[in-house]
Amino acid sequence: MKRVAILISGSGSNMAALADSMTGDHPARPVLVLSNRPGVAGLERAAARGIEADVVDHRPFAGDRVAFEAALTARLAQARPDIIALAGFMRILTPGFIARWQGRMLNIHPSLLPKYPGLDTHARAIAAGDTQAGCSVHEVTADLDAGPVLGQARVPVREGDTAESLAARVLEMEHLLYPAVLRRFAAGDRTPVMLG
Ligand code: GAR
């Protein structure tokens, strides 16, 4: 059984979708949900599922990313994860931390990578006049949102869409895509999952 730690910063809807998928013959189980922000809804969602949930607040580290990551690493070590799934985790990680988890860390990003790495993906897709949007799960490498893509899901951009309406449509697909990719990945299969 693979042990999965899920890192969040907010509502944790992707975390919940991942956690709920890891039952039965799934090759992995959630062992820790870790947030860099105290009080977020994702922590309660984890606790409600009986998953250990904890906070490593980035703010006391005052921008010292390496010191923050040392605290993250210490907390992760207690849970002994095989895989880290970033699920709406909104901190940039340093190459040192990423190297430690190379090949074992996934992220979900709300765009069809390589389009729109970084923030405001939905507004950028609408502004560009794209007719399709979507989400990607990728392996985390030192280049932001640029690691090998392990799955993508597409949705249409509709007439009159706002960033919010498009985000909601994409998020529904995120909840299907991320569990599908994690299941394959945990089984040692990196064949990309393509939905939509
Ligand atoms: C999701 O849409 C995820 O793709 C995005 O944050 C949201 C988190 O929602 N991630 C990023 O933008 C990463 N750069 P959730 O907390 O409900 O899963």
Atom of ligand 1 nearest to the CA of 14: 18
Q: What is the pLDDT of residue 171?
A: 98
Q: What is the pLDDT of residue 52?
A: 98
Catalytic residues: 109
pLDDT for 16-32, tens place per residue? Answer: 999 999 999 999 999 99
The most distant pair of C-alpha atoms in the chain lies apart, rounded to whole Å, by 49
Ligand 1 centroid–CA 88 distance in Å is 3
Backbone angles phi, psi at 13, to 5 degrees: -70, -35
**Ligand 1: which of 6, 37, 107, 108 to mutate, most ligand atoms within 8 Å of CB?**
108
Atom of ligand 1 nearest to the CA of 9: 16
- In whole angstroms, give the CA distance from residue 3 to residue 177: 19
Q: Among residues 71, 74, 73, 76, which one has the least CA distance to residue 57? A: 71
Is any atom of ligand 1 closer than 6 Å to the C-beta of 134? Answer: no
User: Could you tell me what percent of the chain has a pLDDT over 70?
Assistant: 100
Q: What is the pLDDT of residue 196?
A: 86
pLDDT for 68-126, tens place per residue? Answer: 999 999 999 999 999 999 999 999 999 999 999 999 999 999 999 999 999 999 999 99
